[in-house]
Structure 1
C-alpha cells in the first residue's frame, strides 16, 4: 500500500507531501490541483507497466511517457523551476520516484531523467540517457515485483459508459472514460464466476430499484485501417466494418429492462465504478469526482459500499476528489484531504484532522460539516 506521495514543481504542486490511507478524498476549490495529484501519481506508476516496445528512445520509458501533452516543459511549475519530481512511499518504507529535467532551448536533446527505487541505504538508481535498455529493464523489476504498476485512473462519462462496444481483447476492460463497460459485462455474463452477481448486488445497494444486469449482442460500426497492395506497393485505407459487439440493460423494479442509454447519469457512473473495483481490481484506483451526479443519499451508500469492498480487498486503495460535504460526512476526519492555494508557492494540503478545532468540533460535527465551517484558509497557516 502507498503510505505517501510527494510532488515537487509539478504544475501547482511546488512542494507537497500527501499522506495516504486506504480511502482518501481530496477537497478544495476549483483549480487548486486536486486532479493534478491524481495525475502525478498515475504518471509515476504508469512507468512500471509501460510497453517496452514504446521505450526505444535514449530516455527509455520516461521519454516515451513524458511527451506531447505530457512533455516535461508543459508539466513543470512556472516560471522558474528547473526540474520536477514525483515520488511514492510504500508502507514498508520503500521509495519509488522520478526526477525529470526538460531539454534546454539551446540543446533540444538534453532532456534527462533520474529514477530510484528501494529503501534508504539500498536505493537502486537509473539515469537516462546514459544507461542501456538492459539496465532499464533490470531496474524496473523492483517496482514491478512490488506491483506498483497496478493502477487505474478514472474520469467516467455517462454517455461513454452507456455506449455499445466491441472489443478484440480476450479479457476486455473499462477504459479511463468508461468505454468498454458493455464488453466487460458481456464477458462477466459468460464467465459466470459470481462477479456479475456481486456487481448487481452492489448497484442495488447504491441505486434504489436496480435489480439485474444483462448484456446483449449489438452491431457496432468501426472504422479500421486495412492494407491494400497494388502493383507490389502497400497502401493503407480506411474501411468501415460492422462488428458484433455488446450493449447492456438494467432491470428496474416496476419498469422492467431499461437500455443503458436511458439510465440516469448517476446510475451509470456508480455501475462503472463498481465494475472496475469488482473485476480484476487494481491496487490503486484514482477517481475524479466521486460524488458526480449522485443524490446525497446515494453518495452515502456509495461510500459505505466502497468501505465494504476495501474490507474484502486488502490490497485496494482509493484516492478520489469531491466537492460534496454530504459525501464527506460518511468519512473519517483523517480520510479528508483539504487543498488550498498559497499564491506563488502553489498549492498546499493538510488532512482535516489537522485543523486546530477538529478534536473539539469533531465531537459534534461530521467531516463535511466541519469542512463547510472552516473552509480551506487554515491550510496555509504556519507554513514557512
Structure 2
C-alpha cells in the first residue's frame, strides 16, 4: 500500500510530495492535476513491473516531462506492500532521438525490506548522431544485494494496479473471451464475459457482486447472464501467386450479455438499466474479480449515481476494504456528496497555479479547518472554501 508519492517534473507536477490513505479522494477543478496523479501512479506500476521482471537496461516510456523543465522526470512511491516495507523511484532524463518523437528511458531504483536495489543505468543519453539501434533497451539486470523473491514480491504488488475509466456503452456490450479466466479492460470491455465466468465457476463471488449492487442500487432485483452474438473481425492470410495477402474476415461468435431484472421490469437490457448501475457493476467486478488488484485508480468515483446511492457506494467500498485490508483506492471526484461520507484526512485538493503547474494539498491543511471541522461535513467545507486558498499559501511550497 502506497503511503507517500513523490513526483518531479511529471506533466503538471513540477514538484509533489503527498501522503496517501488507504482510501483517498482527489477533488478540484477540471484540468488541475487529479487524473495526472492517477496516471503517474499507473506509469510507475508499468515501469516497475517491466524492469523488475526483465533484464533490461531501461524502460522506454512516454514523454511526460513538465513543459519547460530541464531536470529529470522522477516518479516515486514508498509504503508497505504485503507486510514488507519498500520504495521505488522511476527516473528518466529527457532523451530526444534523431528521427521521431521524444521518449523517456526510465530506470528504477529503490529498496525492499531495507535492502537497496537499482535496475538500469542512470547515465543513459544519446548524442544527436546516435543510431536508432541505440534507443532499444539493452540487457542490464538488477543490481543490489536483494533476494530475488523479495523483488518478485514487490513486482507482484506493484503490478496489481488497475486504472479504471469506464465507458457506459462499452460496459453494456456483449462480449466473448477465449481466455481461461476472462479479464475486465480499463474501459469496461469484457464485463459480460467476466461475470459469466463467475456465474459458472465462482458462483459465490457472483452472488457477492449481485448483493453489493442491490445494496447500492435498490431497484436491481437480479443479474442474469444470457447468450448473445458477438461480431468480430479477424485477419486471414491468403497465399496467391507466391504472395501473401491479409484479408479482413467478419465472424459471429456466441458470447454473453448481462441482463437485469429491475423493480417492476424483467429482462432489462444493460443499455436501458442506467449508466450508474452499469458503472457500479463494473467497479464491483473489478474489485472482486479474478485479478484482485492491490491499487485501484478510479476516475470520477461518483459514477453518475444519485447522491443517496453515492453514500451507499462508499459504504460498499469500505466493506470490501474491510474484507481485503491490502486494497487501496485512489479516486477523483467532483461530488461534495462523496466527500460527506469521507474522513477529512482522506480528501486531497488539487489546484492549478498561475504558472501552469499543479499543486495538491490535504483538506485538513486549510488554515480555517480546525475552526470549522465540527460544524461542516468535508463536502460542505470544500464547497465553501474551494481551492484558491492553496495558491495563497505562499512561499515555495513543496507541493508546487
**TM norm structure 2:** 0.86
C-alpha distance in 1 between matches for 2:140 and 2:47 = 16
Q: Specify whether residues 52 and 333 from structure 1 end up closer, same or farther in structure 2 by C-alpha distance, changes over 3 A only.
A: closer
Question: Are the equivalent residues in 1 in contact too, given 2:57–2:140 (CA < 8 A)?
Answer: no
Q: Map 1:310-321; keep pairs closer than 5 Å.
A: 310-321=321-332
Q: Map 1:126-145; keep pairs closer than 5 Å.
A: 126-128=119-121, 132-133=138-139, 135=141, 142-145=150-153
Does the residue aligned with 2:158 lie in a helix, a strand or coil? coil
Aligned to 1:238: 248
Aligned to 1:379: 390
Structure 1 vs Structure 2 CA RMSD: 2.7
Q: Specify whether residues 85 and 3 from structure 1 end up closer, same or farther in structure 2 by C-alpha distance, changes over 3 A only.
A: same
Task: Please state how far the C-alpha of 1:59 moved relative to its aligned partner.
Answer: 5.0
Aligned to 2:131: none
1:97-128 deviation per Cα after TM superposition (whole angstroms, max 9, x unaligned): 11112224669899543310205973211224
Task: Please state how far the C-alpha of 1:256 moved relative to its aligned partner.
Answer: 1.7
Question: Are the equivalent residues in 2 in contact too, given 1:200–1:212 (CA < 8 A)?
Answer: yes
Q: Specify whether residues 121 and 177 from structure 1 end up closer, same or farther in structure 2 by C-alpha distance, changes over 3 A only.
A: closer
Aligned to 2:117: 124
Note the residue ranges of structure 2 that are not aligned, 5 or more in a row: 126-136
Question: Are the equivalent residues in 2 in contact too, given 1:5–1:19 (CA < 8 A)?
Answer: yes
C-alpha distance in 1 between matches for 2:143 and 2:251 = 39
**TM norm structure 1:** 0.90
C-alpha distance in 2 between matches for 1:81 and 1:205 = 51
Q: Specify whether residues 180 and 52 from structure 1 end up closer, same or farther in structure 2 by C-alpha distance, changes over 3 A only.
A: farther
C-alpha distance in 2 between matches for 1:294 and 1:225 = 41
C-alpha distance in 1 between matches for 2:149 and 2:235 = 36
Question: Are the equivalent residues in 1 in contact too, given 2:47–2:106 (CA < 8 A)?
Answer: no
1:234-255 deviation per Cα after TM superposition (whole angstroms, max 9, x unaligned): 3322111111111111111221
Q: Specify whether residues 331 and 77 from structure 1 end up closer, same or farther in structure 2 by C-alpha distance, changes over 3 A only.
A: same
Q: Specify whether residues 122 and 383 from structure 1 end up closer, same or farther in structure 2 by C-alpha distance, changes over 3 A only.
A: farther
Question: Are the equivalent residues in 1 in contact too, given 2:205–2:288 (CA < 8 A)?
Answer: yes
1:2-52 deviation per Cα after TM superposition (whole angstroms, max 9, x unaligned): 101111111101101121111000000111010000000001102244499
Does the residue aligned with 2:325 lie in a helix, a strand or coil? coil
1:200-237 deviation per Cα after TM superposition (whole angstroms, max 9, x unaligned): 11101111211211111111110011222335543322
Q: Paired residues, what number?
A: 373
C-alpha distance in 2 between matches for 1:51 and 1:168 = 29
Note the residue ranges of structure 1 that are not aligned, 5 or more in a row: none
Runs of at least 4 residues off by over 4 Å: 50-53, 105-111, 128-132, 136-143
Q: Map 1:224-373; keep pairs closer than 5 Å.
A: 224-280=234-290, 281-344=292-355, 346-373=357-384
Question: Are the equivalent residues in 2 in contact too, given 1:222–1:243 (CA < 8 A)?
Answer: yes
Name the one with the larger helix percent.
1
Aligned to 1:10: 10
C-alpha distance in 1 between matches for 2:160 and 2:68 = 34
